[in-house]
A and B are shown apart, each in its own frame.
Chain A
Amino acid sequence: MSEALLEIEDYRGGFRTETGDFVPVLHGVSYRLKVGVMTAVVGESGSGKSLVALSVLGIQPPAFERTGGRILFRGTDLLGLDEKGLRAIRGAEISMVFQDARAALNPVFTVGRQLADVWQLHHGGGRKAAMGQAIEALRRVSIPEPERRARQYPHEFSGGMAQRAMIAMASLICQPALLILDEPTTGLDVTIQSDIMELIVELSRTRGLTTCLITHDLGVVAETCQEVVVMNAGRVVETGSAEAIFTTPRDLYTQRLLSASQLVEAA
């Protein structure tokens, strides 16, 4: 068994309602992300999979209250860090790609400028050099005419193009050890989905990234990931290698998920 980069141990918490009641939503979530491996976290919306991922970076919704657990990154508990400590981790060590890339980019700055800003934040250097790096990163994720595209605003990008830019920002500009992708292809056309997934796989292979793919789409998982974590209603119901999960699912919920995605018949 290889070494784990991130370990989530018995993470639990919930939301406080307006009447003051506490509704627990995470009931002790535990899983590990191994170095250099692509792990999928699978579950329906509402299973709490995104909430856990956001908690890793400390950007969970403010109404969420943690009641227990640890999130260990290289042995340090991220939940014990203050704002300054978290900021040192964000982007530089762990970075994240969000679902709707066009909304996730700031509408009033050019795409190139946003990438260049992040470059300067983590690597310093001048404005010009940073913009050069931004354009290089856009070229690397196969955005045509990167010089021109860098001067455009997010609303001038298609959803797929914006997601490529977002991936460039999170992986190539930040150069993290761990990349978390939260439903990166949801809402995109099917053909574009597979292009984006190819890009993600290719980037993480060539750069030796540890990757965590959060998705509800088992089809995507089968083709790309080595490890799978299945979550349901705030609990991890099954973990294992992709092969094991797809061929011999032990948990009832996993079996249901598989049959619903019709992968069983295909396999």
Chain B
Amino acid sequence: MTVVLDSPKAVARRRRKPRSWWALRIGIGLLAFYAAVALISFGWTPYDPLTPGIGDGYDAPSWAFPLGTDRLGSDMLSRLMVGTRYDLGIAFVAVLISLTVGTTLGTLAGYQGGALDTVVMRGVEIFQAFPGLLFAMLVVQAVGAGIVNVILVLSFVGIPDYLRLARAEIHAKRDWQYAEAARLAGNLPWRVAFRHLLPNSVGPLLAFTSINAAFAALVTASLGFLGLGLGPNVPEWGNMIARGQDGVMTGQWWVSFFPGLAILGLTGGLYLLGDALSDLTDPRRRGR
């Protein structure tokens, strides 16, 4: 037998796995559900989400309107379904952009080291001294609402985190014998960094991406709630919560309540997925 039997850590690692598999399944399941709802909403919703006056306004949940209607009498379920496109889509695209840009820059900085690394890292540190939500609010307010602007701002806010993560990963592995061997085999430096080193860090990066997407979805909803996101009538979830705010005071709780649940499912699923991925890909992760 070649396994080291008396290492407690190895044992703990083996024991943690099954729970993580559950979290992974639930996370992927939730994401798939939301993606499916978003796709379905292109072809079918119970009512037209943008048409007011389908109900009388503030209809309580019933068979006709499972999640009730809002103040103007639009169907909540239809609006929620369409909202999935916005909240899921924006988070997805924004995270994709920051992942690509941040990882590239971070890999370069980490592999190159020296002055470039110092300058980039100090710049990142200064940028991160600025609260991300605040930055997003200010820029969107300045450049105006709209999907493209929201996506761009969110991806910009996300870049520094990926940059730091990728840099730390590459920096730690730069002097591996494996990297040395790849260099000796005649690979160009950038090829060593991107083809040989970066793939070793896919686990932590993916785990972080998932958690970052949850953050992006929350910021999207926050911007919508403040009326800074996508314009007033767009059925984005944060927007919908803001529109239901008056109803909450007079007892029509459902208008704000269900969009919040929708957010919980999406971000909760993303967090579960992120936790599971970091457990499964980096079992000896440090307790940060």
Contacts and interface: CB of A to CB of B under 8 A. Distances in A.
7 contacts: A18-B15, A18-B17, A46-B2, A50-B6, A54-B6, A61-B6, A63-B15
Nearest to A53: B6
B8 interface: yes
B5 interface: yes
A220 B1 CA distance: 25
B138 to A, nearest CB: 41
A15 B6 contact: no
B20 to A, nearest CB: 10
Interface in A200-228: none
A46 B1 contact: yes
B4 interface: yes
A61 B18 contact: no
A48 interface: yes
Interface of B: 1-6, 8, 11-12, 14-15, 17-18
Given A46-B3, A48-B5, A233-B1, A64 B15 contact: no
A60 B8 CA distance: 8
A18 B5 contact: no
A62 B9 CA distance: 10
Contacts of B17: 18
Interface string A5-35: 0000000000101100000010000000000
A51 interface: yes
A203 to B, nearest CB: 25
Contacts, number: 39
Interface of A: 15, 17-18, 25, 45-46, 48-51, 54, 61-64, 233-234
Contact of B4 (A46, A64, A233): A46
Nearest to B7: A61
B10 to A, nearest CB: 9
Given A18-B17, A18-B18, A46 B5 contact: yes
The secondary-structure label for the interface of chain A is: loop
A41 B60 CA distance: 75
A61 B14 CA distance: 12
A15 B11 contact: yes
A69 to B, nearest CB: 17
A195 B107 CA distance: 46
Contacts of A64: 11
A264 to B, nearest CB: 26
Q: Which of A18, A54, A64 lies at the interface centre, i.e. has the most chain B CB atoms within 10 A of its CB?
A: A18
B14 A18 contact: yes
Q: Which of B2, B4, B8, B18 lies at the interface centre, i.e. has the most chain A CB atoms within 10 A of its CB?
A: B8
* The 10 nearest A-B residue pairs measured at CB: A61-B8, A50-B6, A63-B11, A61-B11, A18-B17, A51-B6, A25-B5, A18-B18, A46-B5, A63-B15
A62 B12 CA distance: 8
A63 B1 contact: no
Contacts of A61: 6, 8, 11-12
A217 B14 CA distance: 29
Contacts of B8: 61
Nearest to B20: A18
B6 A63 contact: no
Q: Which of B4, B5, B17 lies at the interface centre, i.e. has the most chain A CB atoms within 10 A of its CB?
A: B5
Contacts of B18: 18
Contacts of B11: 15, 61-64
A48 B4 CA distance: 9
Contacts of B12: 61-63
Contact of A45 (B4, B14, B15): B4
Contacts of A62: 11-12, 15
B240 to A, nearest CB: 42
Contacts of A50: 6
Contacts of B1: 25, 46, 233
B6 to A, nearest CB: 4
B5 A51 contact: yes
A45 B5 CA distance: 8
Given A46-B1, A233-B1, A17 B14 contact: yes
Given A17-B14, A62-B11, A63-B11, 15 more contacts: A15-B11, A18-B17, A25-B5, A46-B1, A46-B2, A46-B3, A48-B5, A49-B6, A51-B6, A54-B6, A61-B6, A61-B8, A61-B11, A62-B12, A63-B12
